[in-house]
Amino acid sequence: MSEKIDAKQVKELREKSGAPVGDCLKALQETKGNIEDAFVVLRKRGMASAQKKAARTTNEGAVGTYIHAGGKIGVLLELNCESDFVARTEDFQGLLKDVAMHIAASDPRYVKSEDVTAADMEREKEIYRAQAAATGKPAPVIEKIVEGKMAKFYEEVCLLDQPFIKDQTISIKELIATKVGKLGENITVRRFARFKVGAPEWTVATTKPVEAAAE
Between 2 and 24, the higher pLDDT residue: 24
- Asked if residue 48 has pLDDT above 70, the reply is no
Taking the domain 117-154, which CATH number applies? 1.10.286
Q: Does domain 57-113+158-206 have CATH number 3.30.479.20?
A: yes
The pLDDT of residue 43 is above 80: no
Please list the residue range(s) of the chain that carry CATH number 1.10.8.10.
Answer: 7-52
Average pLDDT over the chain, rounded to whole?
87
Q: Is the pTM of this model over 0.85?
A: no
User: In the chain, which residues fall in CATH 1.10.286?
Assistant: 117-154
| Statement: residue 22 has pLDDT above 50 | yes
What pLDDT, on the 0 to 100 scale, is given for residue 147? 87
Q: What is the pLDDT of residues 83-125, one digit of tens each?
A: 999 999 999 999 999 999 999 999 999 999 999 999 999 999 9
- pLDDT value of residue 18: 67
Please tell me the CATH code under which domain 7-52 is placed. 1.10.8.10
pLDDT of residue 166: 93
> What is d(CA 105, CA 167) in angstroms, rounded to the nearest whole number?
13
